[in-house]
Amino acid sequence: MTQNDHTNLLMSLAQVMAGDFSNHQQAKEDPKNFAHIRIFFRPLPFEFFNAIGFYSEQSYDYDIWNPYRQGIHQLIDQGEQIYVENYGLKEAFRYAGAGHNLEILKTISPENIQRRCNCSMIFRKQENYFRGEVEGKKCFIPRNGRQTYLISEVEITENTWVSLDRGMDINTNEQVWGSAVGPLKFEKRASFAQELPQFIK
């Protein structure tokens, strides 16, 4: 693989990531097990990281101004794989809605973020999709009075996003939280690929 191929791989992942995703169909077919959820993956200005980056938020469709998960992500070319560094936001509530409101997105600065250690994702290209998983078993999340580590698996195509997050007890490896009935299955409602920088400087 040449350096140009690696750059193309990173941009290909960025282009399929950039969008507004909904699992409306899944929630409609199985409302007992799946709530209607929206994911927004919005490109950040190139200058934020001097690299390709995203702001993300996840919310219930009926309350999209009150996301229950927010993050900042930087894509890093590692040759055969793309390393996605994850960051949390200080005072995240100030940026709620930035996934679908560019004016709010513009108010986020690098000083407002902090690294989520051991919680980066590693993406590899498969035949017609990208598969990602969290690095190792050291992305710790306390939940229900127990310390858990995150297992996160994602598959992204041009029009779909399938994800499964589970929290496992660090001592027993027993599942403490997350879906027991399978992954969330999203379809892309709108693409934000046109907001990505056209060239990596």
Query: Across the chain, what does the average pLDDT equal?
Result: 93
The pLDDT tens digits of the residues spanning 154-165 come to 999 999 999 999
Distance between CA atoms of residues 41 and 64, nearest Å = 14
CATH architecture of 3-194: Beta Barrel (2.40)
pTM above 0.75, yes or no: yes
The pLDDT tens digits of the residues spanning 3-49 come to 455 568 999 999 999 999 999 999 999 999 999 999 999 999 999 99
Residue 120 main-chain phi, psi, to 5 deg: -75, 160
Domain regions of the chain by residue span: 3-194
Residue 5 main-chain phi, psi, to 5 deg: -65, -40
Question: What pLDDT is attached to residue 198?
Answer: 73
Measure CA 82 to chain center: 13
Q: Are strands 175-178 and 160-169 parallel, antiparallel or unpaired?
A: antiparallel
Residue 176 pLDDT > 50: yes
